[in-house]
A = this chain, B = another copy of it.
Amino acid sequence: MQDKVGAAPAGGENLLFLTDDQLRRGIEAMFFAYRAFTADPDMILTELDYGRAHHRAIHFINREPGLTVTALLDVLGVTKQSLNRVLRTLIEDGLVESRIGRRDRRERQLYLTEKGALLERRLSEAQRARMRAAYRAAGPQAVAGFRQVLEAMMDQETLRQYHALREMPE
């Protein structure tokens, strides 16, 4: 039951010889790792009667303070009706502030309040702690490979959303 990923036996140029079995293990690793990956924040969120949707909103608002509802909708890839409910509770609970856009008064710019920033740190630190431990256990070369494969797995649209926040104007 070895698990080597080697060059093609006959010698296709840069192609790899990949058995269905090897691929299946990658698929299962993604499934279980993702579950572990979300476990820590999920526990914190459940305590507070929030869900993953709240976490995602908080994460990206923290990432790019002042981003608009439409921009947030784009990265999250959900409908506005769905996001709206989440956003409403976050605003009611005083974690997120919605300010009228400065350039365009139709827009709503979203910011974390102090309370929101506090929860963000609590959630992201839990997630970072796990990621940090995994990175340290696996080593720098593995980390580079990890990122390469994940990015290679994204399609054009996802890749665009993934990079969008780094290229935001202002």
Contact = CB atoms under 8 A, between A and B. Distances in A.
Copies of this protein in the assembly total: 2
Interface string A146-167: 1111111111001101100010
Interface residues of A, number: 63
B127 A27 contact: yes
A138 interface: yes
A5 interface: yes
B135 A149 contact: yes
Interface in A114-166: 124, 127-128, 130-155, 158-159, 161-162, 166
Interface of A: 1, 3, 5-7, 14-16, 18, 20, 23-37, 39, 56, 63, 77, 124, 127-128, 130-155, 158-159, 161-162, 166
